[in-house]
Amino acid sequence: MLCPLVSKGLLGDRGLSRVVRRDIYWWLQSAKDDYGSAVHLYRGGFHANALNLLHTATEKALKAAILSTGKRYPIGSEGHKLSVLYAMIKPRLRLTRELEDIILQLTPLYLPTKYPNAAFGIPSRIYGKNFSSKYVTKVGKILRWIERGIESRG
C-alpha cells in the first residue's frame, strides 16, 4: 500500500508530491512524532529523556531512508547504531559534515541516556541542558534532510 508523504507539525505543514510505501511512511511519521516529543521533553527540562528520543527519532528516520533504497535495516543492537544505519544510506543521501558529526555523537548515547548502569549514574543528572541543547535543532535538520531525500527518490 502507498501513502502520501506529508509533513506535519514541527517539520511544517505541506504535502509532498511523492507517494511512498506504507512502512516507509510509518517509520518517517513515527520519527517526527518522537522528535516532537523530544522537543517537549527538552522544553520541560527532561534532557536525558529528550536526548534518548532524539536518538530514536534519528534512528527511525534513517530506517525509513534505508527502506526507501530497497534495502533492509539491521536488527538487534546494530539496528540502534546510528553510524551503521547512516553508512547504509550515505552513498545516496549524504548529510552535511555538521549533521554527520551529530549522528556520530548521538550514536553512543542510546543506552546511557536511558539506563543508570550504562550512564554510571542518574542520566537526568548527567545529561543536562548544556549537553542536550546542541542536538535539538540539529536532529530536526537531519529529519528534514532525510524526508527531502526520500521525497526526491521518486
The whole-number average pLDDT for the span 49-60 is: 97
Q: pLDDT: is 30 or 4 the higher one?
A: 30
Q: Is the pLDDT of residue 67 over 90?
A: yes
Q: How much is the pLDDT for 16? A: 42
The pLDDT of residue 152: 81
Give the pLDDT score at 143: 97
CB burial of 60-79 (b: ≥16 within 10 Å; e: otherwise) equals: bbbbbbbbbeeeebeeeeee
Q: Is the pLDDT of residue 85 over 90?
A: yes
> What would the grid cell of residue 108 be?
553512543
Bridge partners (DSSP) of residue 2 are 21
145: Cα separation from own chain's centroid: 11
Between these two residues, 79 and 38, which has the higher pLDDT value?
Answer: 38
5, 147 contact by CB (below 8 A):
yes
What's the structural domain count of the chain? 1
- Average pLDDT for 86-104: 94
Mean pLDDT of 123-142: 95
**The predicted structure's pLDDT at residue 3:** 44
122 lies in which domain range?
A: 2-152
**Percent of the chain with pLDDT strictly greater than 90:** 77
* Predicted pLDDT at 18: 55
Confidence at residue 122, expressed as pLDDT on a 0 to 100 scale: 96
Residue 134 belongs to domain with CATH number: 1.20.120.330
Kindly state the average pLDDT of the residues 44-70.
96
Specify whether the CB–CB gap between 99 and 105 falls below 8 A: no
